[in-house]
Structure 1
């Protein structure tokens, strides 16, 4: 029965992709052939970026506990919050220096796999998910792990994004380390995690989790990226050694196009020139969009750029990024939010906005005191990846 359902799912996705392929590309998605692919940096700018990359990745590595978990912040004694979604970004940043931190990421991956839920342990009866954890440490050593509880339920903020970002970690890990054995030996678990995404895939978009049926733009951009990562894992590693997972390769291959097409068809508001931050399962907006609403309306507009759904040199990307930058002096942290929002500077690096990147980095380094609140691992990770990206562009 499961095989039949998988075949039907692939068939519907193929049909959706087939018809979607005849859709003319929107004019604002056409890329600029004259766009810059490299940037120029002065010696002082390079020095600051290298310092930030090295210091932030070192801090992220220092967060890792003896059990492999990478909590949101640090403490020698007390209770630490272990959010797997946030930890995934820490792992992605550490992989930008895989020669030094590859083993840290491997240890985290092993922790993550060992904490996957079964259908029985998941409160939504969804196999392959993962909860948030509260981890008690004494003198820096783990003495207790407990599943985090919120509103009387075991806690995860979403199932779609948690699965997607971990798949991104796995794919980047195997690409930069060459360690295919870790991937192949966990083929079953990777299939389970991929199934978590498909479990809430509805009309080409995922809703956040089975008991919260809202389809977020941010989540679906991450899901698109995660499905591409899963496709890469099945194609380049798993299916090279086993035919048992060919159906997963097919599903991922068609799902990526299906999701991309539905982000465009369902979430892009042509008249308003913006993406809807979220929709319900009937396609109606879950929120009234406003550029005045920093989160989720405004910040979500950068996610299609960050996850490759629209090219950074497309007219739409430029318009969205410029509008966001006109609305918010984000590089000076003059935003209606306490957090650092590393995703903003990462997109700025993608957009080759050196001036904004450097202003953000200078302010970040001056505001940062001992990596204390409100800094969390995911924001530090995105800052590190932004520094690495702009340095690579300067060397191109």
Structure 2
């Protein structure tokens, strides 16, 4: 009997000793992780701050954000300008960041009202900013404005300082409804092609604006048209989600269609060897929060990564697509995102000549924000959590 008791006590002692050793190891492990994460956080914060500063330097007196003023003449592409302004809101935006974003939103809202939702590109040749009459797609230009407005409010911006946002939302809803005859938005009234990437952006914009108009924001609550406008965006949001999953997913080939023509027929898919739009379209919806299936999205992402060394700026084209770094973090690929940011820093830390443009800076700032959030989450996990993860 005494022998059994001694064995029992010995077992308890060993268990207690193991727990003490594990606890000590876990404390050391967490401290090491926090130190490593702190160093990496400081690095990406510096890059984020520099990108924001450069975006602010490319903002005009009227609030417009230029693509890159280093070449002399100034081009304003409202789509890219919205992506640049999103970069200003990355992380914890300063009062200056919020003010610059508000100035841009005011400029964009004014143009939406003037042009009844069809905003074109602008150019300043030294004699003032003038519209070029050109645009890539009406639906995506609207979409990124909607996303920017909602992000601005979420990050602490006052809607009353962002121009006539109520009129802008009404104009945008009407235009998107006109461009959406069957569940997917079209490029424009004349161009009836429906692109996957555009519709992912429109879905995100509609989704976020619906949530904004359903929120308890004081300024939203004071708008009589909030409920009805929110309902309209909700219908657009739901229709696009259903149409993307039902019309644009090719189950046989396990990929997305890049779009449909005016008769609802899939556009030609050249293959994964064609980066834009064929390959990038397969993963782009995840950048907009539109993940129909996480498993499927990860598989498509890995397929893209097996063909393109994007993280080393190895796409071989004009642009580097930093949105992929944001997608990488979202899908748990912190390593590739870090390699991209490092390569971007080496290439553009001092060289700010075109083809670098402010939208690239905006996406890079957002990638840094995503990495910071990932580091914070990682720093809080102990040994057991990492093993199970």
Same fold by TM-score, threshold 0.5 exceeded? yes
* Alpha-carbon spacing, 1:319–1:95, altered in 2? closer, same or farther (3 Å): same
1:312-333 Cα shifts (integer Å, max 9, x gaps): 8x21111011011011111112
Residue 357 (structure 2) aligned to one of 376, 385, 391: 376
| Aligned-pair Cα RMSD in Å | 2.1
Contact 1:70–1:108, Cα closer than 8 Å, also in 2: yes
Structure 1 residue 62 corresponds to structure 2 residue 43: no
Does residue 203 of structure 2 align to residue 203 of structure 1? Answer: no
Contact 2:37–2:375 under 8 Å retained in 1: no
Give 1:1-396 correspondences, 5 Å limit: 42-75=37-70, 78-96=72-90, 97-99=92-94, 100-116=96-112, 118=114, 127-137=116-126, 143-148=127-132, 154-182=133-161, 185-236=164-215, 237=217, 240-310=221-291, 314-368=294-348, 369-396=350-377
C-alpha displacement of 1:362? 1.4
Q: What SS does the corresponding residue of 2:128 show, helix, strand or coil?
A: strand
Larger Rg: 2
In structure 2, the CA distance between the partners of 1:207 and 1:343, relative to structure 1 (3 Å rule), is same
Q: Is contact 1:306-1:347 (8 Å) kept? A: yes
| Cα distance change of structure 1 residues 81 and 183 upon mapping to structure 2, 3 Å threshold | closer
Q: Which is further off, 384-393 or 97-106? A: 97-106
Look up the SS of the partner of 1:374 in the other structure: coil
Are the aligned partners of 1:202 and 1:281 in contact in 2 as well (CA < 8 Å)?
Answer: no
Higher helix share: 2
Whole-angstrom distance in 2 between the partners of 1:53 and 1:268: 35
Give the paired residue count.
Answer: 339
Q: What secondary structure is seen at the aligned counterpart in 1 of 2:68?
A: coil
**1:86-107 deviation per Cα after TM superposition (whole angstroms, max 9, x unaligned):** 0001111101242241001111
Structure 2 unaligned regions, length at least 5: 1-32, 378-389
Contact 1:342 1:379 (8 Å CA) reproduced: yes
Question: Unaligned regions of 5+ residues in structure 1, if any?
Answer: 1-38, 138-142, 149-153
Deviation at 1:49, TM superposition (A): 1.4
Q: 1:184 to 1:335 in 2, by over 3 A?
A: closer
- Paired residues of 1:228 and 1:252 also in contact (CA < 8 A): yes
How much has 1:44 moved relative to structure 2?
A: 4.4
Task: Name whichever structure is richer in strand by fraction.
Answer: 1
Give distance in 2, aligned partners of 1:356 and 1:166: 29
CA offset digits 1:306-350 (Å, max 9, x no partner): 1111168x2111101101101111111222412111111111121
Deviation at 1:291, TM superposition (A): 0.6
Do the aligned partners of residues 196 and 288 (structure 1) sit closer, same or farther apart at CA in structure 2, a change above 3 Å counting?
same
Q: 1:115 Cα shift?
A: 2.0
Secondary structure class of the residue paired with 2:123: strand
Q: Is the 8 A contact 1:69 1:108 kept in 2?
A: yes
Secondary structure at the counterpart of residue 203 of structure 1? coil
